[in-house]
């Protein structure tokens, strides 16, 4: 049961991390554009 949960977490985490990273990159780009 725990192994399945870990696998599910591992499958769902990367897209969320990538989304967070892309959002972080866009905010940095926006800051550079406005300054």
Collapse the DSSP code of 4 into the 3-class scheme (helix H, G, I; strand E, B; otherwise coil) and give the result.
helix
Nearest by Cα to 18 from 26, 8, 7, 6: 26
Q: What is the pLDDT of residue 35?
A: 66
pTM: 0.45
pLDDT tens column, 1-35: 677 887 777 777 777 778 888 888 899 888 888 76
Residue whose pair of structure tokens reads 């905010």 in the numeric block: 27
CA distance 35 to 27: 12
- Taking CA atoms, 26 is separated from 2, 16, 21, 22, in Å, by 36, 15, 9, 6
Q: What is the pLDDT of residue 8?
A: 79
């Amino acid at each position: 049961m725990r192994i399945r949960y870990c696998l599910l977490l591992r499958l769902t985490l990367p897209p969320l991390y990538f989304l967070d990273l892309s959002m972080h990159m866009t905010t940095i780009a926006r800051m550079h554009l406005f300054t």
